[in-house]
Amino acid sequence: MTAAPAPRRLFTALFPDAGALAAIDAARQGWGSLPRRPRPVPERMHVTLQFFNAVDAERERAWRAALAGLRFDPFDIALTRPELWHAPRGTIAVLRTAPCPALDALHAATGDLARAAGLAPEVRPYKAHLTALRQAEHVRLARLAAPITWRVGAVRLIWSDLQAQPPCYRVLGTYPAP
C-alpha cells in the first residue's frame, strides 16, 4: 500500500511583473545595512492572498478545482511604503500596498474558495504586503521615491517546497482574470 503524500505548504499569491520587480529590488538596494545576500530573490517576491502550512492531497485537489472557478477583473496594485515587522523568525522588511478594494475583494474570494475546499483561512485582518527582505534586523528603511505598481491579471497557486535543495516555489496553477 502506498503512503499518502505528505501535506504541502500552499499559498495563493500575486507576483509582480519584471518592471515592478526591478523597482522593488532597486528600492531595497537603497536601504542601509542590507545583509550581504538579500533574500528573498526578486523572482520569489509576491503578495500573498491565502496561506496554509499543511494541506493534504484531497483538500489540495478541492482547492485547485475551486480556484478554477475564480473570477475577477484585472486591477492595478501599488506598493507605497516600507515597514519593519518583527516576526517570530526575525525581522522582515515589507512593502505595504495602497488601499485597494479590488485586492480586498480578491482576498475575500480566494478565502471563500479555500473554505469551500475545506480549508480554514486566517481570521486575522488582512494586511496586504510584499516581503522585500528577510533578516532585516539592522536595516534602515528609506521612503519609496514613487509607488511601485503593476497590473494584476492572474493568481498563482504555489507549493513552497521546503524539502527541495535549495527550497523552491513550484507553480501548481495559474488562474487568470477572464
- In DSSP notation, 154-170 reads EEEEEEEESSSSS-EEE
At residue 77, the 3 state secondary structure works out as: strand
Supply the Cα-derived Rg of the chain in whole angstroms.
Answer: 17
Write out pLDDT tens, residues 3-60. 778 999 999 999 999 999 999 999 999 999 998 888 999 999 999 999 999 999 999 9
Q: In this model, does residue 2 exceed pLDDT 80?
A: no
- Residue 135, pLDDT above cutoff 80: yes
What is residue 1's predicted lDDT score, i.e. its pLDDT? 60
What is the value of pTM for the model shown?
0.94
**Which domains are assigned to the chain?**
8-176 (3.90.1140.10)
Checking if the pLDDT of 123 tops 80, the result is: yes
- Residue 171: partners with Cβ closer than 8 Å, 6 or more residues away: 156, 157, 158
Residue 3: per-residue pLDDT: 75
Q: Residue with C-alpha cell 516576526?
A: 87
pLDDT of residue 174: 98
Helix axes 57-67, 101-116, angle to 10 degrees: 140
